[in-house]
């Protein structure tokens, strides 16, 4: 039996649909889910309302339909999916395998090529370190870019400490790599190229298909971190010649603590496992697969696949609305990253002569970010913005607006109006802004220290 507290929270989030032994393929619509999510989003927390949420690149709210699918596997169907001697194990194993197929379907893969992990960070570590170490006797060169997620960059640095040679490709000012430089960097001893699909800070989308075809022609494995792309843009691992792909649950309205790694079977990709244990997931990721989380990831992939076109069209409209409102009202606003080859839900803007942290504090009733949640503890300017050539002042003045499935038009309008108001106020307090308004070129001023 559920406790009263648990039952109340489930009822608040439920959007319809009936429980069956698999748990639940609900027939509820995205509109129902949005209504339920809005009810939770607007919940009073003490005496103050929670801020609006526009940080979808950091994480996304759990879709109520996903929770609906997960719940039976947390309270009723709680068997270990690796228990082969009784019904408790069989029923959860069946649900996990159905979820594996749902993850595979969204990227055009075979279910046997999907390995459940704790998230994209672990998937990235397994890909970079696992491939590198397995083929190190013949190949000890890895290629990545300067704007990858920190876990990929740190994994590459770990390999450097083991004697590997790593090439960190620069990107153009729009954030896109140059294919010619990639081709020139590939060597006979290159084992892996790791380039993310959609950047988590500036939203640019790399030419994944062209990269995959180049790597296949050179007999080099291609890994892509697709945490910010899965379920948002169409991906096909066979058409794009992708050999390894990292997936995160909580970036597609699924649960936190679960992800997946696609590992190609033909031509076969071999990896060295990072942890020892019971040999689950075909020995590539030992540890009990958390059935409720895996089922949740599968449901999130299924819903995202069904609603991808609708979500993309709606998020594009909201993104354009936000950008146009802000840029039409404020001068000297720069959009970071390519404006065309991008995922519209990630909008990174720099406001000249405004300190990003000051703007975030002024916009305290809106949940925003000045960059990646994984590196936000650092006061250094974003390494991604520095890599695309942004001035340090502009890099410090950037704000990332993350628009998602449950973002409303009213929230976008409110955010734009508040941003315009506070940027104007902060600039009025800035002596540098005043000097610029008087026509003074700040770059030609020789500043003296006292």
Catalytically active residues, by annotation: 374
* Cα dist from 338 to 204, 210, 320, 394, whole Å: 6, 18, 14, 16
- Let me know if 291 is exposed, middle or buried by CB neighbors in 10 A (0-12, 13-18, 19+): buried
Q: Which residues pair with 49 in a beta bridge?
A: 44
> What is d(CA 122, CA 246) in angstroms, rounded to the nearest whole number?
9
Report how far residue 215's alpha carbon sits from residue 185's, in angstroms, rounded to the nearest whole number. Answer: 11
How would DSSP label each residue in 261-291? EEE-TTTT-----SS-SS-TGGGTS-S---H
DSSP state, residue 409 = H
d(CA 398, CA 386): 12
Residue found under tokens 């993310």:
196
Instruction: Yes or no: say if 249 and 295 are a contact pair by the CB < 8 Å rule.
Output: no
Residues 418, 363: contact at Cβ < 8 Å? yes
> Read out DSSP for 311-363?
HHHHHHHHHHHHHHHHHHH-SSEEE-S-SSSB-TTEEEEEETTS-HHHHHHHT
Q: What is the rounded distance in angstroms from the CA atom of residue 196 to the CA atom of residue 313?
A: 23
- Most distant CA pair in the chain, distance: 80
How far apart CA 53 and CA 411 sit, in angstroms, is 9
**Cβ atoms of residues 68 and 20 within 8 Å:** no
The partner residues of 168 in beta bridges, in order of sequence, read 144
Structure tokens at 385: 């913005």
What DSSP letter does each residue of 167-216 carry, written as one string? Answer: EEE---TTSPPPHHHHHHH--TTEEEEE--SB-TTT-BB--HHHHHHHHH
């Amino acid at each position: 039996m559920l406790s009263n507290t648990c039952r109340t929270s489930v009822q608040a989030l439920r959007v319809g649909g009936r429980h069956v032994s698999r748990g639940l393929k609900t027939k509820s619509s995205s509109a129902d889910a949005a209504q339920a999510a809005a009810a939770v989003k607007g919940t009073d927390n003490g005496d103050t309302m929670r801020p609006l949420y526009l940080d979808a690149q950091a994480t996304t709210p759990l879709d109520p339909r996903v929770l609906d699918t997960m719940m039976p596997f947390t309270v009723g169907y709680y068997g270990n999916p690796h228990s082969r001697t009784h019904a408790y194990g069989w029923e959860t194993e069946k649900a996990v395998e159905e979820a594996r197929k749902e993850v595979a379907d969204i990227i055009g893969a075979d279910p046997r090529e999907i390995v459940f992990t704790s998230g994209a960070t672990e998937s990235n570590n397994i890909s970079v370190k696992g491939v590198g170490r397995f083929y190190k006797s013949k190949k000890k060169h890895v290629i990545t870019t300067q704007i990858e997620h920190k876990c990929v960059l740190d994994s590459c640095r770990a390999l450097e400490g083991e004697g590997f040679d790593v090439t960190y490709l620069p990107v153009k000012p729009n954030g896109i790599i140059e294919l010619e430089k990639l081709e020139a960097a590939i060597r006979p001893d290159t084992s892996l190229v790791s380039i993310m699909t959609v950047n988590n800070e500036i939203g640019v989308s790399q030419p994944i298909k062209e990269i995959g075809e180049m790597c296949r022609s050179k007999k080099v494995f291609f890994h892509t971190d697709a945490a910010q792309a899965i379920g948002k843009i169409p991906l096909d691992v066979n058409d794009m010649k992708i050999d390894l792909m990292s997936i995160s649950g909580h970036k597609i309205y699924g649960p936190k603590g679960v992800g997946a790694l696609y590992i190609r079977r033909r031509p076969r990709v071999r990896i060295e496992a990072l942890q020892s244990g019971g040999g689950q997931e075909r020995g590539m990721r030992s540890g009990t697969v958390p059935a409720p989380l895996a089922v949740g990831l599968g449901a999130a992939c299924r819903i995202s696949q069904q609603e991808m076109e609708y979500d993309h069209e709606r998020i594009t409209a909201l993104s354009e609305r936000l950008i146009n409102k802000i840029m039409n009202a404020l001068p000297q606003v720069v959009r970071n990253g390519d404006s065309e080859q991008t995922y519209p839900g990630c909008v990174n803007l720099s406001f000249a002569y405004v300190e990003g942290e000051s703007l975030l504090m002024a916009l305290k009733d809106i949940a925003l970010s000045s960059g990646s949640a994984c590196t936000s503890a650092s006061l250094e300017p974003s390494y991604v913005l520095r890599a695309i050539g942004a001035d340090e002042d502009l890099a410090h003045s950037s704000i990332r607006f993350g628009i998602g499935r449950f973002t409303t038009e009213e929230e976008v309008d409110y955010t734009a109006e508040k941003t315009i108001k506070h940027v104007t106020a902060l600039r009025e307090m800035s002596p540098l802004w005043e000097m610029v308004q008087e026509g003074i070129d700040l770059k030609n001023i020789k500043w003296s220290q006292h």
